[in-house]
Amino acid sequence: MTTHDSTHAAPLLQVIDLTARIHGRQVLNGLNLTIGRGEVHAIMGPNGSGKSTLSQILAGRADYEVIGGQVLYEGQDLLALAPEERARAGLFLGFQYPVEIPGVNNVYLLKAALNAIRKAKGLDEVDAFDFLNLVREKMRVMKMDESFLSRAVNEGFSGGEKKRNEILQMLVLEPTLALLDETDSGLDIDALKIVSEGVNTLRGANRSIVLVTHYQRLLSYIVPDFVHVLAGGRIIKSGDRSLALELESRGYDWLTEQVTPA
């Protein structure tokens, strides 16, 4: 955490010409993206366009090999940080497929996570009583059952419960940058509303949210400031919310045909 002076002047996140591959296959192809503080961005695109790749690389998944470009987070080289350091610096990934971890209790994970982040900020460990109150309050927002407290991380959760748990974690950890990877997939309309309300409670001038999604539907509940289309491993078009509506009526073909190399 150096260069504090510049952090507020610079955008929160700058992805510059990012090129990456996995198992020898190039999946990002000179991707550029800038996220300002307090902004909500939606990244849309067809299957296999690199949407999840981008979230995974930003969160620090080791499987991907970055072969070009850079990522600046609060003006610093994000890619030089280990995944846990990124989390402590305020980055949060809401997983598309949250992992089940039998034997590890939800609440203890949350507490360990919160304390790790607080420690990095030079804060004391959270008081056990205050912590439980905080979790209960956020559980009410997410309409989660009390039994959640005694269950193992995502073990035996339905798809909807897993996604709600991701948002619950986000609400407790209060990240500066939340990347939500297809958080809406597999949700029925009620669960979608709950998840969206949860995300909306976090919106604020100091927090940025990136929604990776296939569908416009989510964006009716969480209205984005910017919409980007990702195809072939880079952003091929950016616009405001109306772009999402246009995509819904026209699909992606009219855009991807323009970028397919001759």
Residues 138-157 that bind another protein (CB under 8 A): 152-153
- Segment lying near another protein (by CB under 8 A), choices 20-28, 35-43, 76-84, 230-238: 76-84
Q: CA 259, CA 262: separation in Å to the nearest integer? A: 9
- Compute the least distance from the CB of residue 225 to another protein, in Å: 25
DSSP result, 113-168: HHHHHHHHTTPPPPPHHHHHHHHHHHHHHTT--GGGGGSEETTT--HHHHHHHHHH
Residue 142: CB partners within 8 Å, gap ≥ 6? Answer: 164, 167, 168, 171, 194, 195, 198
Single out the residue of 80, 104, 123, 259 in contact with another protein (rule: CB under 8 A): 104
Give helix 189-202 / helix 128-141 axis angle, nearest 10°.
130
**82 lines the binding site for another protein (CB under 8 A):** yes
Single out the residue of 95, 157, 226, 252 in contact with another protein (rule: CB under 8 A): 95
Single out the residue of 17, 84, 127, 248 in contact with another protein (rule: CB under 8 A): 84
Closer by beta carbon to another protein, 84 or else 248? 84
**224 lines the binding site for another protein (CB under 8 A):** no
Residue 135: CB partners within 8 Å, gap ≥ 6? Answer: 107, 110, 149, 168, 172
Tokens of 47: 């299957």
Residue linked to tokens 């939500």: 180
For 189, half-sphere exposure in the C-beta direction (CA atoms, 13 angstrom radius) is 2
**116 lines the binding site for another protein (CB under 8 A):** yes
Closer by beta carbon to another protein, 157 or else 226? 157
Closer by beta carbon to another protein, 84 or else 190? 84
**219 lines the binding site for another protein (CB under 8 A):** no
Binding site for another protein (CB under 8 A): 59-62, 82-84, 86-88, 92-93, 95, 98-99, 101-105, 108-109, 111-113, 116-117, 120, 152-153, 169, 173
